[in-house]
Structure 1
Amino acid sequence: MYMDHSQFSQVQNPYVGVSVETGLGCGDRNPQWSSEETRDLLAIRGHLDPTFMETKRNKLLWELVSTRMNQIGYNRTPIQCKCKWKNLVTRYKGCETMEEVEMRERAFPFYNEMQIIFNARMQRMMWQEVEGGAISPQMVSKAANSGCSSGNSSPVVDGLKEMMEEFMRQQMELEMQWIKAYEEREERRREREMEWRQRMEALESERLMMISWWREREEERKMREEARAERRDALLTALLDNLTRGAI
């Protein structure tokens, strides 16, 4: 059975004051997590959350998370990703004790992203309970009362149909939010990639110009040395001629 928000708020959390940019006791000596990197981690972890909930041995899943982080330009190990996720969960649960949403968002900048993940998880668990027949008598009574005037239609079926429609609507809203966030991240990634390419092209152009300048200077130096050598040889030849004539 899942824990609702009221139960989350009762959890005594000794790590509420831990910085969201650290590894929460994981010995993380690597550079701190930026906000963009943390949001990319949440997007990947949220996409894989149903798979995480299906198995207890999730070592391979964290390796997959690390691989996907590396694919988008972040060098993070599976242990670092796992520790960062635990830190974020701890901060999220700690913020559940705050009554106002604005206070939660100020205290924890990734509150909305975590809430989307946990809301989706709770909806999946509720749907699994409905599919497994774990429906309370109150829900059945409510469905029967709402459908008593529907003729030959089954009130329970009507109630379940309404629940399914509401569930699908919420799922579509969540999916649209994820798609929008994913497109925004992809756009930012493309912009960063374009800026990086432009910088690399500028550096390459500057490097080629420096090589050309160095070659020109080297060629001028060689020409000056050759001219000095020719003048020196001419002076030595003239001196030898003078000495030879004097000796005669």
Structure 2
Amino acid sequence: MDPRNLYDMSEGGDVGRFPQWSIHETRDLVMIRADLDSAFFETKRNKLLWEVISTKMKERGHNRGVEQCKTKWKNLVTRYKGMEQDGAGQHFPFYNELQEIFTNRMQRLLSMEPRREFSFDDHEDDNDNDKMEKAGGSNKKRNRGESSHKLRETVEKFMKQQMQTEMELMKMYEAREEERRMNEMEWRKRMEELEKEKLRLDEQWREREDQRRVREEARAEKRDTLVTALLNKLRS
């Protein structure tokens, strides 16, 4: 068995029904859930948020559905709460990540509602919607409308941020491609200049060789003429 999956065996709930979660995909789930924690904090109607999480997991290559992600997160929270009580957090691979999530959430709670009691399970379960519906009357409709409006705003804000990030990354990629293209053009231009310079030097060398050969032939012809004249004089 892959040692990265061993810790899953102690988390009852998703073992047996779904494939075991690796350390890598569990860490991705925690990171994505942490990014959206403020959205979960602001609304109890979180079905769409879990769909966003499932979509983001699939974008990272993890085929995990909404219920799988939700069940895994609840198991992680349960495991974290147990480690928190037992003081054995060092044995839980994601203890620090979850501690940071709940610490940030408690800070938000304290800043917005100083007297509100902090709970690990705030906004974690869709069953909270049943409590809201039991309130009845116009307050229920108003709260539901406000929650839906906040959820839409949060999701729209998240998607806009994602689009802006993707656009910035695309601009960076295009800028790098343009820089690479310019560098390549400069390199080709330089190579062409070097090739032309080489051809020019080769031409100059051939001209000098031709001139040297003409001079050598002229000297040889002159020498032969002198030798012939000298021999003729000696014979006479």
Instruction: Give the TM-score, by structure 1 length.
Output: 0.49
Which residue is 2:233 aligned to?
none
The residue identity in structure 2 corresponding to 1:169 is E
2-structure distance, mates of 1:86, 1:241: 101
SS in structure 2 of the partner of residue 78 of structure 1 = coil
Which residue is 2:63 aligned to?
78
2:199 is aligned with 1:225: no
Bigger radius of gyration among the two: 2
1-structure distance, mates of 2:143, 2:213: 104
Which residue is 1:26 aligned to?
22
Q: 1:123 to 1:116 in 2, by over 3 A?
A: same
Q: 1:172 to 1:105 in 2, by over 3 A?
A: farther
1:94 is displaced (CA, Å) by 3.3
Q: 1:41 to 1:78 in 2, by over 3 A?
A: farther
Greater relative CO, 1 or 2 (CA 8 Å, sep 6+): 2
**More helix per residue:** 2
Which residue is 1:209 aligned to?
186
Query: What is the root-mean-square deviation of aligned Cα atoms in Å?
Result: 5.1
Which residue is 2:153 aligned to?
176
Deviations 1:51-95 (A, max 9, x none): 99xxxxxxxx87x963xx2xxxx5x2536x998887655434434
Instruction: From 128, 141, 144, give the equivalent of 1:164.
Output: 141
- Decide whether the 8 Å contact of 2:34 with 2:101 is kept in 1: yes
Which residue is 2:168 aligned to?
191
2-structure distance, mates of 1:170, 1:116: 15
2:76 is aligned with 1:91: yes
1:181 is displaced (CA, Å) by 2.0
Matching of residues 132-151 of structure 1 within 5 Å: none
1:204 is displaced (CA, Å) by 1.6
Q: 1:187 to 1:247 in 2, by over 3 A?
A: same
- Gaps of at least 5 residues in structure 2 are 1-8, 12-19, 40-45, 86-93, 106-120, 226-236
Instruction: Give the TM-score, by structure 2 length.
Output: 0.51
2:215 is aligned with 1:238: yes
2-structure distance, mates of 1:116, 1:242: 107
